[in-house]
């Protein structure tokens, strides 16, 4: 599998839109991998997780063809993960040459938000699919099981266990330390790649989001509980400008624990 990290920032981007804190100013000075857009990944060019407002920029930057995407899975409705208005661009007049519908999978609030923008899309352009926690979905591109996140108490926020071509990915953000129901479901499962929330960086706490320490501890828990094997990989992503660290500093911390620090445009082969 080819996993392309389209964006690796938290909601405000990095450097943040209106911010002049020392961390944002340093990121502007250094440039390169210190510039981060809102989070999403693309798997084998056909499966996309989340639909942030930076999606068109990702397409232009990386030379992507989003008409190839068959399945779009939504974690939750926060605007850095779902900019539903751009689903209009999948409709006739805006998009030509599409040969299949884009299947949009989400829990009730996410689907409702999409329907508020495109209420009754042509069947050959968009197809809405309601999903529930812990109920596997046999999508066109993978078998995906939605899992519960610890994120926003106002909605059902999801994580994903993705099975494709004999490989498995745990897509683990946005979330704090995993709810017990999710830990219970994961026990006995194999994880080849874990993509984990590291919003808070050096800031304490692991509720709603995680920090460096929590990412390291979660990797240890996956090992101790038998979900990881000797070739399993952990990737940290979704960094806030409040994390207090530039890209090279994050790399320096995480490489001691065998953890990969994601950056925008990074391609990982599994």
Structure confidence by residue, pLDDT tens digits, 11-45: 999 999 999 999 999 999 999 999 999 999 999 99
Residue carrying the six token digits 């709810």? 179
Domains contained in the chain, CATH given: 2-269 (3.60.15.10)
* pTM, rounded to two decimals: 0.97
| Residue 5 pLDDT exceeds 90 | yes
Cβ neighbors of 106 (< 8 A, separation 6 or more) are 73, 74, 82, 114, 128, 129, 130, 131, 158
Kindly report, residue by residue over 212-240, the tens digit of the pLDDT. Answer: 999 999 999 999 999 999 999 999 999 99
Residue 89: CB atoms within 10 A of its CB come to: 12
Kindly report, residue by residue over 132-188, the tens digit of the pLDDT. Answer: 999 999 999 999 999 999 999 999 999 999 999 999 999 999 999 999 999 999 999
- Provide the percentage of residues in the chain whose pLDDT is more than 90: 98
Kindly report, residue by residue over 184-215, the tens digit of the pLDDT. Answer: 999 999 999 999 999 999 998 899 999 999 99
* Nearest alpha carbon to residue 24 among 197, 242, 190, 192: 242
């Amino acid at each position: 599998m080819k996993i392309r990290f389209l964006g690796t920032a938290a909601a405000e981007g990095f450097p943040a839109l209106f911010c002049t804190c020392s961390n944002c100013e340093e990121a502007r000075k250094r440039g390169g991998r210190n510039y981060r857009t809102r989070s999403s990944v693309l798997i084998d060019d056909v499966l996309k997780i989340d639909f942030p407002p930076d999606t068109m920029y990702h397409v232009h930057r990386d030379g992507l063809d989003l008409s190839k995407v068959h399945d779009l899975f939504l974690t939750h409705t926060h605007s850095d993960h779902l900019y539903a208005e751009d689903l209009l661009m999948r409709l006739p007049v805006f998009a030509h040459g599409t040969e299949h519908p884009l299947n949009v999978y989400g829990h009730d609030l996410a689907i409702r938000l999409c329907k508020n923008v495109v209420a009754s899309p042509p069947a050959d352009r968009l197809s809405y699919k309601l999903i529930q926690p812990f109920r596997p979905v046999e999508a066109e591109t993978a078998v995906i099981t939605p899992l519960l996140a610890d994120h926003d108490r106002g909605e059902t926020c999801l994580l994903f266990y993705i099975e494709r071509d004999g490989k498995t990915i745990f897509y683990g953000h946005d979330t704090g330390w995993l709810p017990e129901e999710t830990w219970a479901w994961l026990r006995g499962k194999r994880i080849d790649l874990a993509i984990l929330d590291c919003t808070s960086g050096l800031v304490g706490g692991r509720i709603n989001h995680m920090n460096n320490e929590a990412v390291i501890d979660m990797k240890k828990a996956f090992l101790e509980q038998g979900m990881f094997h000797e070739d399993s990989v952990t990737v940290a992503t979704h960094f806030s400008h409040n994390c207090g660290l530039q890209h090279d500093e994050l790399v320096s911390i995480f490489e001691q624990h065998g953890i990969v620090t994601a950056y925008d445009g990074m391609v990982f082969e599994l």
